[in-house]
Chains A and B, each alone.
Chain A
Amino acid sequence: MFTRDLLSEGLKSVSRQTAYSSVGRQIARKILSIPEASTVRTKIKHLGAEEKIRHIATESLEPGYYYAKLVIKNWRHHLGKDFQLLQDDNVVYGNVIETPPQGKALEYRNIIVTSTSHAAFSLNIDAQFTISIGLGAFFTREQENYDKRYGIRRHGRLHYAIRGNQKNPEKLIFTFPGFSTSTTTIPHVVSYLSGLSATDLQKTMIVCFQDRYGTSGSYMQLDNSGLELNSAVALEIEKIRRRHGVQESQMMFYGASKGASIAIVYSEPYPEAKLVVSTPQLHLGYYLDKPHFRNNLAKTGLAITLPQPHSLLRQYVQEGRAIEYFYSSSDEDSNYSLPEQLFGYKGVSLYRIDGSHGDVAKKCTFTLLNIIRNFLSVGEEKYVKCKQIRKYDRQIGSQYQLRVVSPEEANAGTNWYLVEKKNGVTRNHILTQGSIPFLKYTSTAQMLLNDQGTNGSLTQVVGYQADGTRWVADNLHEHPELGFDNAHQSATIHSVISLALYESMDSQNIRIFGPNNFSDFIVSVPYVVKDPQKILFVVLEEGFNAKVESMYQDYSSSNIGLVYIWSKGENQHLDILIKRIFIDSGAASYTVERRTAYSYSE
């Protein structure tokens, strides 16, 4: 126990170096572990020293490393521009200038630097800025209030909140957070699953991890000193599981976006556990290769040194793990073309949601709550009727319109899906609720491709209600509209289950699901070179119908790979796709040639 005198005197007299030393940090952490209502904490608060102590208690860096906070003043003139913060000639941070929250400065906190001299820092854009440098991490008042509100506490190098039954839980849910917006004052959030009540959690404990590292998190792989966290997180999870004696099969790992990637990584030791993920970034190197991350997270080596979610996921589906996977066909950055290939694997339920990356988790909130409530207890299944189905044939696929007659109670807080089955497993295509209660349809962004939903594989309409009820219309077989239709089979061979994209091509055409929904790219590899030195990409405009085989010779003897890509005009994701194939191929370099129909004549 510390007396007021000791504390006061100590804080005044010890040097900054001492305060931020290992001993000072231990003392500060000890203080913060005392209950908030205690006399000591009250007095500290009264002295106005709480923030200082919290500062000291946060993660300290190795000697010679410091935290920096960058504030850009006249950001309005530079909106949308990339910028870099340089320490001497080295880039220490970079991002894209975005509008900060109303009334707030544009701040980037907890940039790791090696100099305390302000003069050493400059921006590569003509913007006014200030930089603060210190030994303690920078957190906003809003972040501190947030931590307090959700009861987030430090546990060694980790931070998490605990909900539900903390004494004798029979089930455990581990949640992992996604990114906040890059300019937010609360960059380190938790996935609290606030839709679940205390009643829901009578027998369940939820551990909500916080990715409290760097400016916006590190996929919970590295701490601020750049030391790996992987084993610490894995140990903590196992420690919690053992403490409560929870069976592996009674564990669930959940996350959305970045949180989903983390969930995939940390569920690895638990093949019996349930994995619920929404739009995970499957290949971090691929995903982080963009201006927002290029000069910060991408530089940490996350993409190279750590197990990548896509390879873990491939392993999991081979093992037959229970996976609920939410994704959007418009989210190739995250998808890495993998979700479509998971269809048909035992244990995998796919939920295909229309909308952008950020829309998916929001759109399927009811489904998520339904899945969790069914994990916590057995939900009710009720039956409704699908009275009518209409199929709208489009060039690249079909839309479906359904008339599902259900009681009024079924329509509140429910996500409806058109269910496609293969090998007994499901792919759920989310349905948009029409203005008329019985009307549900697949939106234009949710069109089923020509190879989806054929052969009578559309079997059910299911409504996932947040309270755990599932509304099932299983009379789709009564509707002849869903029969196999040869006329709409595409000549293109669609994605096959294979992992490394480049290697999988093997002289086939592969359709790549891109951000503009469907078949944004068709990729063809005339021959495969193992471990190529270089890849030549030939980008052909859509409609280019010349025989491409004759365009370029076989360069395999020169150890050069050749990849044809048909693209729908200019597409910002083309570069990403090229990089992705390049990364998969393991080649040292690549070149790109663009060919239009006009430029080619036989």
Chain B
Amino acid sequence: MQEQNNLLTIIFCCNEKLDRESTLFRKLMSAKLKYDEQFDVLPVYGHINLLKVGEIVSSIKSKYIIFIDEKHDVSSNFVKVFIDFLATRTVYLAEPYVYFGDIPAKLDSTALDNRYFYSRDTDIYGVAFNRKRLLDVLDAITDIDKSAIYLSYRLYWSLAKTKPLQAGYTIANNVKAVNGSMLDPGTLRLVPLLASGSQELRVYILRFLTVYLRGLRSSTETLIPTRHVIDVVQKYNLARLTSLLGPMQQFEAAWIEWLNSPTQPNVLYKQLTDSDAYLRFALENKRPTNNFVYCIKSADQYLTIRRIYLPHDERSDFDDASVYDFYSRPVSKESTILFYDRPLQADDNAEYLYEYIMHNYPEFENCYFGLNPKSNDWARLQRKGFKLVPFFSKEFYEIFLESDVVVSSQIYNLSYKGKTLKNSRSIYLQHGVQLNDMSDWINSKQFDIFVATGKPEEEYIKRSAPVETLNSGLPRLESLQRRVASKRNILFMPTWRFNLNTVSDQQFIESDYYNAINQIMTDHKISEYLVANDINLQVKLHPNISSRTQLFNFSERVINCEKSYREAISTAEFALTDFSSVVLDAAFIDIPISYYQWDAATFFHEQPYENRLDYNTDGLGPVFYESSEIIDYISSGSYLRTDKIYSERKRHFFEGVDKGKINETIVKKMLEL
């Protein structure tokens, strides 16, 4: 590393190679025009751990140091603001406003409240450390993860409050908060246990802990003793802050409640109709064989977390007149019921169930459907006679408060005037069948009924929610029918890759993802087949890449499909995907399907979940890994041949679903809640 002797060093962290064309890099370098003498940008490559940070910090000479990750972004004034500030004073720390989404134009409008603190990532990135003081901390504290350096630094130097400079930094996504973090091997403590009454720091520690616990659910192994985690929770009084935890973190909220009072093993997780669901935490010396949701190995013990059901009178607020029991009124024709799919897009299971009730249970007059008025579906549903309510409006929340049950294909952490999905009824319809293992996700959610499709999925969901699972099938399947279109269509519906969220268009074009899809779209054999048989290839891109549609090579026969999924599927003679579960709708109505998984070896490394089914042994259509195979399969028209293997797999896959009674089964169950 070259010798530095200036005010500030920016450590630019890259995965493999430096993308000098990236917006971020160019933003940083542009400040050289004015501040060439005051700062340098030094790229470092690969994974950074505590040791590596120590090496970097020791090897440079500048007074301050900032770490920036190549996937993150900064406001265009970032370097200027920091240098102007740091050049005139000596401080322990200077930091920007930190976000996980876009950096707002007016930073001042960001309220520095608990919500901001809780959403702020506290990894090492974006802040200017006083380099020598950082060295002091790294000398003193050697058993933490790199991601705890910022917190430890503030605790060590008692930096209770900081005022952000007028510069913005974004980590560009909130995946870590959702999926949790994995700490480096050898990490023995989360943070040093140094006294601090700072509310800001306590909230940061809460977030750090929550993300760690979430990650622990996936890794199920840690060297950090449970005793230390208990000490962290109790020392910083974190249990009092758990209302800040988000929708994906209710499991962690319960976990923290237990860590706060480890002698109370049962933590209420979800109020239900016949009994209530609790998480039971226990420290055991031997690994139990089964019957647990999680078994986490720590330094010397096993922490098991089980889901148990206990009578209502175990609840501390049971029989308390000051607490309203949202289950105290039965679901009846008098009930208000709130339905919703995605805010901007209906046409999913909630819409179909709503419509079913509208036609078959007209006496239920207080059903409402949540939708964003800007949605293309608004006018369509209005014409159908839906009682629409703007999503997340005051009216929406008032209806939620009044409602006896919420029915949705999407789970939001609704919370209004004391009513939450924890203490009230909700039916989760899902968007589609879960082909991936999303047990961690299911365990995070709170619902009364979880709709499954077919016995295999029922059994898989029952492992997380034995009482709540209902194998009725998805409401939209009941009315789904194969239709003869005026034109023959093949449907291609590739799903999304999380690691491409923030890359430049150039990097996107260079990705395997783009190339695999575009190859199918432009292959001459397929093209000839389409022309010869007068078939269109309808490509339905994932909504996350709608802004990059123009990068793909559409043509006369290869069309950007703008139809609804339902319409696209019902008029297709063949449906192709990589990993998307949407093709199961096609399989349900006996349209042949197939999988083209060009990156099967790495796909699940980048995803927040793992493969649940073996596509080769359980898939409802053939699986291809090479482009030549799928091209041959399509261009030869082989997809039109019936295969008994897949018919048998389909029968097993959808077992238990009575196609004519999907909605009726759900409504009956709803009325029993």
Contacts and interface: CB of A to CB of B under 8 A. Distances in A.
B319 interface: yes
B88 interface: no
A435 interface: yes
Contacts of B323: 434
A444 B321 CA distance: 8
Nearest to B416: A436
B419 A436 contact: yes
Contact of A436 (B319, B324, B328, B329): B324
Nearest to A401: B321
Interface in A160-174: none
Contact of B321 (A388, A400, A435, A436): A400
A484 interface: no
Interface residues of A, number: 20
Nearest to A443: B322
Contacts of A444: 321
A436 B322 contact: no
A383 interface: no
B324 A439 contact: yes
A566 interface: no
Contacts of B402: 405, 438
Nearest to A387: B329
B10 interface: no
B418 interface: yes
Interface string A435-452: 111110111100000000
B271 to A, nearest CB: 15
Interface in B292-329: 319, 321-325, 328-329
B263 to A, nearest CB: 27
A403 B335 CA distance: 14
Interface string A399-420: 1110101000000000000000
Interface in A357-410: 387-388, 390, 392, 399-401, 403, 405
B319 A392 contact: yes
B321 A437 contact: no
Contact of B418 (A399, A400, A435): A435
A441 B320 CA distance: 10
A399 B321 contact: yes
A432 interface: yes
A443 B323 CA distance: 11
A401 B319 CA distance: 10
B401 interface: yes
Nearest to B320: A392
* Interface-centre pick from B321, B329, B401, B417 (highest chain A CB count, 10 A): B321
Contacts, number: 40
B666 to A, nearest CB: 26
Contact of A442 (B319, B321, B328, B401): B321
A437 B324 CA distance: 11
Contacts of A403: 324, 329
A432 B322 contact: yes
A442 B322 CA distance: 8
- Contact residues of A: prevailing secondary structure: strand
A441 B329 contact: no
A58 to B, nearest CB: 51
A441 B417 contact: no
A387 B322 CA distance: 17
- Contact residues of B: prevailing secondary structure: loop
Contacts of A438: 324, 401-402
A437 B417 contact: yes
Interface in A427-478: 432, 434-439, 441-444
Nearest to B326: A436
B328 A441 contact: no
Interface string B390-405: 0000000000011000
Contacts of A435: 417-418
A436 B153 CA distance: 42
B419 A441 contact: no
A390 B321 CA distance: 8
* Interface-centre pick from B322, B418, B419 (highest chain A CB count, 10 A): B322
A386 to B, nearest CB: 13
Interface string B406-450: 000000000001110000000000000000000000000000000
A441 B319 CA distance: 12
Contacts of A387: 329
A392 B324 CA distance: 12
Given A434-B322, A436-B401, A441-B321, A388 B328 contact: yes
Contacts of A441: 321-322
Contacts of B418: 434-436
Contacts of A392: 319, 321
A127 B417 CA distance: 54
Interface in A23-79: none
A454 to B, nearest CB: 18
Contacts of B321: 390, 392, 399-401, 441-444
Contacts of B325: 390
A119 B441 CA distance: 85
Contacts of B329: 387-388, 403
A310 B419 CA distance: 47
A405 B329 CA distance: 14
Contacts of A388: 328-329
Nearest to A446: B321
Contact of B324 (A400, A401, A405, A442): A401
A439 B419 CA distance: 12
A444 to B, nearest CB: 8
A390 B419 CA distance: 18
Interface in B577-601: none
B376 to A, nearest CB: 33
Nearest to A391: B321
B401 A390 contact: no
Contacts of A437: 401, 417
B319 to A, nearest CB: 6
B324 A434 contact: yes
Contacts of B328: 388, 390
A441 B328 CA distance: 15
A420 to B, nearest CB: 17
A399 B320 CA distance: 9
Report the 4 A-B pairs with minimum CB-CB distance, sorted nearest first: A399-B321, A441-B321, A435-B418, A401-B321
10 contacts: A388-B328, A401-B324, A403-B329, A432-B322, A434-B418, A435-B418, A436-B401, A436-B417, A436-B419, A438-B324
Interface of A: 387-388, 390, 392, 399-401, 403, 405, 432, 434-439, 441-444
Given A403-B324, A436-B418, A439-B324, 5 more contacts: A388-B328, A403-B329, A434-B323, A434-B418, A435-B418
